[in-house]
Chain A
Amino acid sequence: NAGVMQNPRHLVRRRGQEARLRCSPMKGHSHVYWYRQLPEEGLKFMVYLQKENIIDESGMPKERFSAEFPKEGPSILRIQQVVRGDSAAYFCASSPPLAPEQYFGPGTRLTVT
């Protein structure tokens, strides 16, 4: 049973470009969460999605950030017009319905130059 998959593992973008981060949840998992980890800090919640629905986006910055989890395909976290402060590790986690455990992917390390 494959774990949560994220790609790319490393992403370098220049200021002003767009970053697209992908997450494929574990088989049978219909809930996806995105978290951001700044250096030397814990993870901060960004958004929680189910298929075709955003359930909780209370941790998403109001501008430039968006997320989706379409009926088919991976979940996408999109950052438009990236700035240096967006440099971080972005983790995706998934969980099955009605179970508390969240299983994390390996993360995408975004570097904005």
Chain B
Amino acid sequence: AQKITQTQPGMFVQEKEAVTLDCTYDTSDPSYGLFWYKQPSSGEMIFLIYQGSYDQQNATEGRYSLNFQKARKSANLVISASQLGDSAMYFCAMRETTIGANSKLTFGKGITLSVRP
């Protein structure tokens, strides 16, 4: 069963506008973590933001925020004030803590974001 679902085929946003990238997940583990990573065309994976399943507030990191809706099992990434350098592939990932605090990440297939000047 697919655990992380990213179905948006590709997103376009005008520079300086906000954009939301969707992510839904599936797990039976009550304790888990959700991540977003950015992969620009150069290929590296850049950690953006983390949300724990028991965190009371939505995570924020600068222009990135995570809209965490636990009942709906969604963890959408919101990028405010888009910049040209935000054009990249974005991956949602989940960690299930069945074997302790450190465990593998399961990734979605990713979403391509293109920022238009």
Q: Which residues of A contact B (CB under 8 A)?
A: 31, 33, 35, 41-45, 48, 55-56, 58-59, 89, 91, 93, 95, 97-107, 109
- Report the interface size for chain B: residues with CB under 8 A from the other chain: 25
Q: Is the CB of B105 within 8 A of A43?
A: yes
Interface majority SS (helix, strand, loop, mixed), chain B:
strand
Interface majority SS (helix, strand, loop, mixed), chain A:
strand
Q: Could you say which residues of chain A place their CB within 8 Å of the CB of B109?
A: 41-42
Q: Could you say which residues of chain B place their CB within 8 Å of the CB of A59?
A: 104
A42 and B47 in contact (CB under 8 A), knowing A56-B103, A97-B102, A98-B101? Answer: no
A-facing residues in B24-42 (Cβ within 8 Å) = 33, 35, 37
| Complex: A97 Cα to B103 Cα, angstroms | 11
Additional A-B contacts beyond A42-B93, A100-B95, A104-B44 (16; CB < 8 A): A33-B104, A33-B105, A42-B108, A48-B102, A48-B104, A55-B102, A89-B43, A97-B101, A98-B101, A98-B102, A99-B102, A100-B35, A100-B50, A100-B102, A104-B46, A107-B44
Q: Is the CB of B107 within 8 A of A103?
A: no
Q: Is the CB of A107 within 8 A of B106?
A: no
| Chain A minimum-CB-distance residue to B44 | A106
